[in-house]
């Protein structure tokens, strides 16, 4: 678990259409990497409905302000700002998660239940252990609580582990579908070259052209 930044949280806001576009990109990337928890049928439906050329999105975002605050804090614990890139909330992960769990498709509706119940469970657990909400906890308290959830294999934390793994995967999918996420892992994509140096000598020798 990376130590989170203690800086004030100011999540980047995404437009509805930009959040949906990122969902489509993250979903397609997950399928290309054979991450089976994403449903191919849901990807197809997100691409067709709603019409991203229209201004209106035919469903509301459902997370409450307290849930969004917790999503922001937890996402930044999972992907904090460091030398490789900004924190998760700085690239719009909060709105991505809100849009994901708000979508009216079967996959998202199932995950909505897990994520919202998990957020409530996390807050309750933080209250029991530290006397305050997870968002109000100090950084060491947050990481201690999450480390305990991940390491503890007892029935007490089974629901917490399932929630955390799902939430972590969605945060990663959101983060690494952004240019900042690509840069963090050294991915440059298709970029123009000023000059093509040609194949290296080893390659030419291999095909008998040296």
What's the pLDDT tens digit per position in 177-198? 888 988 888 877 777 777 777 8
pLDDT of residue 39: 47
Distance of CA 26 to the CA centre of its chain: 9
Q: Under 8 Å CB-to-CB from 145, ≥6 apart: which residues?
A: 122, 125, 126, 129, 130, 134, 137
As for how many domains the chain has, the answer is 1
In this predicted structure, which of 19-33, 79-93, 155-169 has the lowest mean pLDDT? Answer: 19-33
Residue 193 lies in a domain: no
Q: Does any domain span residue 125?
A: yes
In a domain, 87, yes or no: yes
Residue 4 lies in a domain: no
State pLDDT tens for residues 123-163. 999 999 999 999 999 999 999 988 888 776 556 667 788 89
If you compute the radius of gyration of the chain from its CA atoms, what whole number of angstroms results? 20
Is residue 174 a part of any domain in this protein?
A: yes
* pLDDT surpassing 50 at residue 11: yes
**In sequence order, what are the beta bridge partners of 82?**
85
Note the pLDDT of residue 36.
44
Residue 151 lies in a domain: yes
pTM of the model: 0.73
């Amino acid at each position: 678990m990376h130590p989170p930044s203690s800086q004030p949280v100011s999540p980047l806001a995404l437009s509805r259409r930009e959040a949906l576009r990122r969902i489509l990109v993250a979903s397609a990337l997950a399928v290309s990497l054979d991450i089976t928890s994403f449903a191919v049928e849901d990807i197809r439906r997100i691409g067709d409905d709603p019409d991203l050329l229209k201004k209106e999105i035919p469903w509301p975002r459902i997370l409450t302000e307290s849930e969004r605050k917790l999503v922001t804090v937890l996402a930044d614990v999972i992907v904090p700002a460091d030398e490789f890139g900004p924190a998760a909330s700085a690239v719009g992960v909060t709105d991505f998660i809100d849009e994901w769990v708000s979508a009216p498709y079967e996959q998202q509706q199932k995950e909505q239940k897990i994520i919202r119940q998990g957020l409530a469970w996390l807050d309750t657990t933080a209250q029991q252990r530290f006397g305050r909400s997870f968002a109000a906890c100090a950084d060491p308290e947050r990481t201690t609580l999450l480390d305990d959830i991940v390491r503890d294999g007892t029935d007490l934390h089974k629901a917490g582990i399932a929630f955390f793994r799902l939430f972590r995967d969605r945060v990663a999918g959101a983060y690494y579908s952004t240019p900042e996420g690509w840069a963090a892992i050294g991915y440059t994509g298709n970029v123009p070259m000023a000059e093509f140096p040609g194949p290296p000598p080893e390659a030419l020798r291999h095909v008998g052209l040296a």
